[in-house]
Amino acid sequence: MEILSGVASKLGELLADATINQARYLFCFNSIIKELGDNETNLKEAQDGINEKVEQDRQKHRAVVVEKDVEKWLADVVKEMANVQNLKQR
């Protein structure tokens, strides 16, 4: 009987730990989702600002050449925004 009591006690402890871990995960998950949304907004604002600056420079000087690293950054932003949308759909 003492063995059953010990097993039941350990089982209860493990179940409690598992429940606490799941609750923590849910709490952190919401925090991660909020952070993802905030970062998406910040990235979109930066992207819009860079695109606007490029367009302004092109209107002033038609021969403006956009630096390759700027073009790469803009292309990377498009890919990352697509990744964010995929995550949001899951």
Which stretch of 21-30, 55-64, 65-74, 77-86 has the lowest confidence by average pLDDT? 21-30
Lowest mean pLDDT among 16-30, 40-54, 61-75: 16-30
78 close to 48: Cβ distance less than 8 angstroms: no
> How many Cβ atoms from other residues are within 10 Å of residue 70's Cβ?
13
Report residue 3 as tokens.
Answer: 């063995």
For residue 54, the enclosing domain spans 1-89
Q: What is the pTM of this model?
A: 0.66
What is the amino acid identity at position 82? A
Q: Please state the domain count of the chain.
A: 1
* pLDDT tens by residue, 72-87: 999 999 999 999 999 8
**Per-residue model confidence (pLDDT) at position 72:** 93
Average pLDDT of the chain is: 86
Q: Is the pLDDT of residue 33 over 70?
A: yes
Of the two residues 42 and 87, the one the predictor is more confident about is 42
